[in-house]
Amino acid sequence: MAAKWIETLVGSLDQKKQYKQHMARMEALPEPYRGAAKALQRYFMYQGGIVDGNTLITMLGDFVDLWERAAADGTPVRAIVGDDPVEFAETFLRAYSGRQWIDKERERLRTAIDAAAGDTSEEKDA
Over residues 4-41, the pLDDT tens digits come to 655 555 566 888 899 999 999 999 999 999 999 999 99
- As a whole number of angstroms, the distance between CA 85 and CA 94 comes to 14
Domain ranges of the chain: 21-99
The reported pTM is: 0.70
Over residues 48-98, the pLDDT tens digits come to 677 678 888 999 999 999 999 999 999 999 999 999 999 999 889 888 876
The domain 21-99 is placed in CATH, from the list 3.30.1490.190, 1.10.1900.10, 3.40.47.10, 3.40.50.880, at 1.10.1900.10
The angle formed by the CA atoms of residues 84, 88 and 93, to the nearest 5 degrees, is 150
100-103: long-range contacts at Cβ-Cβ below 8 A with a sequence spacing of 24 or more?
100/48, 100/49, 100/50, 100/51, 101/49, 101/51, 102/49
DSSP state of 28: T
Over residues 106-117, the pLDDT tens digits come to 888 999 999 999
